[in-house]
Homo-oligomer: A and B are copies of this chain.
Amino acid sequence: MSRRRATAKIVDCTIRDGGLVNNWDFSVEFVRDVYKSLSEAGVDYMEIGYKNSPKLLKADNVGPWRFLDEELLKKTIGEKTHTKLSALVDVGRVDENDIVPRSESYLDMIRVACYIKEVDKALELIEKFHALGYETTINIMAVSNATEVALSNALDLVNESNVDVVYIVDSFGSLYGTDIEYLVSKFKKHVPNKELGIHTHNNLQLAFANSITAESKGVNYLDASIYGMGRAAGNCPTELLVNYLENPKYDVRSIMGVIERRLIPLQQQVEWGYIIPYTIAGMLNEHPRVAMALRNSEDKDKYLDFYDQLTSVETQVNIPAAKTESKVNS
């Protein structure tokens, strides 16, 4: 079997993407336990939250991992061990004055999420973060809805920047293995000087499969989250990637412990995973926001009505508006 073992890196997004499920309401002990467990498992990066600015978006009833600061990181992590730290920012929601030089920060990598039309703005931010010493990535969301030409043009811009890693983001969990192979090939052609990354969603139970398909084609940065915790259908499970890659640095044992201690109790309170409305959204290549609203309503298990609404050309969708924000990286 042709498993690549030497060059792949795992970027665990449990706190950042999982925070979309519980409004970043993780205790310091929870996050510390996740960091310790990931480090023991040999996971390369932990995305510990967003580095957006509370001045630029609604900050009520949201945990601190939405607006990381160095004091919080110091209190949580203490001494860094194996795993590097990453933060995600959204174009238009980060105050670049909040970002100190990497030499003064707990963070090693800053990732910028954007839609295709925001790529130029994302690259401006990335140049600044790069100059401050950070590893950088650009995560272009919703590629499944991008036109070929728009994506090509955006990637050509990206290739001339100083960004280190370019992500393929399957925001809607709607891509199949053959789509992934096509996108990897396209990205390789347009950003030949960059490392590639992949961020998947599990609407069609393909998050792990698509991640390892990408990896087999040369994609080296693999996003994941423990027990798949992430918005809606969730992500590629970290435990499956750690076990699969079989690099001697990886050992899945500690991940089993943190699932038992942290993720199982948490899943009693909030939901993510293979849940039919998210499956339907993935089948239809749609943002999960309408499905999330359904799951917050009394009609949460009325799948047939939901399917009929989303596939009808005649009627409007009649579901209460989702309470969660719509523009967040997926």
| Residues in A248-295 with C-beta less than 8 Å from chain B | 252-253, 256-257, 259-260, 264, 273-274, 276, 279-280, 283
- A253 and B177 contact, CB distance less than 8 A: no
Tell me the number of copies of this protein.
2
Whether a CB of chain B sits under 8 angstroms from the CB of A193 is no
Whether a CB of chain B sits under 8 angstroms from the CB of A161 is no
Give which listed residue, B210, B243, B303, contacts A283 with CB less than 8 A. Answer: B243
* Interface core residue of A240, A280, A303 (most chain B CB under 10 Å): A303
Give which listed residue, B2, B205, B303, B306, contacts A208 with CB less than 8 A. Answer: B205
- A303 and B244 contact, CB distance less than 8 A: no
Task: For the complex, give the distance between the alpha carbons of A283 and B255 in Å.
Answer: 14
| Residues in A72-107 with C-beta less than 8 Å from chain B | none
- A253 and B205 contact, CB distance less than 8 A: no
Minimum Cβ distance to chain B for residue A226 (Å)? 11
| Chain B positions within 8 Å of A306 at CB level | 256
Give which listed residue, B1, B259, B303, contacts A303 with CB less than 8 A. Answer: B259
Given contacts A202-B205, A209-B209, A283-B252, contact A176 B301 (CB under 8 A): no
Whether a CB of chain B sits under 8 angstroms from the CB of A204 is yes
Chain A, residues 174-194, CB within 8 Å of chain B (1/0): the string is 001111001000000000000
| Chain B positions within 8 Å of A244 at CB level | 176
Minimum Cβ distance to chain B for residue A212 (Å)? 7
- A273 and B274 contact, CB distance less than 8 A: yes
- A204 and B208 contact, CB distance less than 8 A: yes
Give which listed residue, B243, B259, B302, contacts A260 with CB less than 8 A. Answer: B302
Minimum Cβ distance to chain B for residue A241 (Å)? 11
Whether a CB of chain B sits under 8 angstroms from the CB of A239 is yes
Question: Chain A binding site: helix, strand, loop or mixed by DSSP?
Answer: helix
- A253 and B204 contact, CB distance less than 8 A: no
- B280 and A256 contact, CB distance less than 8 A: yes
Give which listed residue, B210, B301, B308, contacts A264 with CB less than 8 A. Answer: B301
| Residues in A211-227 with C-beta less than 8 Å from chain B | 212-213, 216, 227
Minimum Cβ distance to chain B for residue A193 (Å)? 28
| Residues in A157-185 with C-beta less than 8 Å from chain B | 176-179, 182
| Chain B positions within 8 Å of A280 at CB level | 256
Chain A residues close to B by CB (< 8 Å):
1-3, 176-179, 182, 202, 204-210, 212-213, 216, 227-228, 237, 239-240, 243-244, 252-253, 256-257, 259-260, 264, 273-274, 276, 279-280, 283, 301-304, 306-308, 311
